[in-house]
Structure 1
Amino acid sequence: MTQQKALVLFGHGARDERWKEPFLKLQELIAQDSNVRVELSFLELMSPSLPEVVDQLAIEGFKTIEVIPVFFGQGGHIRKDFPAILDACRNKHPEIQLSAKPAVGEDLGVLQAIAKYCAN
């Protein structure tokens, strides 16, 4: 393994498989511009789940994992469900430095990019 860090993009999930196409593109763009492993995970309706991805990365020997919730805002899933899932992963894999960023929609740069898109 040459990569030391993994990023996990965490999305809600949907019944329609096409819903994740932007997530796949985001995964590809990040992987092109960085030296980190990038995986997708979902809260519900799609797989893999966040615990499944963390388990696999642990098996592969990753010791640093950062989870990025690809959610627009801080709704109930991010305030309640996500912390519980993250804590369960931390308890199962105490050897891994498991961190999380705020939801992408909370970032000013993301909001500015969306505003620019909308205005143009």
Structure 2
Amino acid sequence: MGTHGMILFGHGARDARWQEPFQRLAAKLAAARGDAGPVSLAFLELMTPSLPDAIASQAVAGCDTITVVPVFFGQGGHVRRDLPALIAQCQSEHPGVRLRCAGAVGEDDAVLDAIVRYCIENERA
């Protein structure tokens, strides 16, 4: 059985502080996964690494499966159009690596439930 990498994929921003919660999320995910495989960040624009660079890095590190998790609130144009094109490009560049893509995290009911709990907790604060 090979190594399974994960890449958290975000939009990117001009302000470097924007990626701080993504870095915390990546650290928490890496800790939760233990030695299951590497966890990386990648960005569509304005920040590095790009998704192709992050996938190439994990492939070189020996990952034979990589799951890309779009850390977007919804399935907008970037997730519906740009991301599949990037995944297809990367798959052609790394035919020996199985690339999987999750849905946008904000589309998941468990994530929405966590946000509801957060909102209610802040209502009471």
TM-score range, shorter chain: over 0.9
In the TM superposition, 1:54-69 aligns within 5 A as 54-69=55-70
- CA distance in 1 between counterparts of 2:62 and 2:29 reads 21
Question: What is aligned with 2:91?
Answer: 90
In the TM superposition, 1:1-120 aligns within 5 A as 4-34=3-33, 35-120=36-121
**Offset at 1:36?**
2.5
State the TM-score, normalized to the length of structure 1: 0.95
Match of 1:114, SS? helix
Q: Percent identity?
A: 50
Question: Could you list the per-position Cα deviations for residues 27-61 of structure 1 after superposition, in whole angstroms to 9, with x for gaps in the alignment?
Answer: 01011111331000000000000000111111122
Code of the residue aligned with 2:9 in structure 1: it is: F
Match of 2:63, SS? coil
Larger radius of gyration: 2
- CA distance in 1 between counterparts of 2:52 and 2:67 reads 13
Gaps of 5+ in 1: none
Code of the residue aligned with 2:24 in structure 1: it is: K
Code of the residue aligned with 2:78 in structure 1: it is: H
- CA distance in 1 between counterparts of 2:88 and 2:120 reads 39
Q: How many residues align?
A: 118
Match of 1:86, SS? helix
- CA distance in 2 between counterparts of 1:31 and 1:92 reads 26
- CA distance in 2 between counterparts of 1:70 and 1:29 reads 14
Gaps of 5+ in 2: none
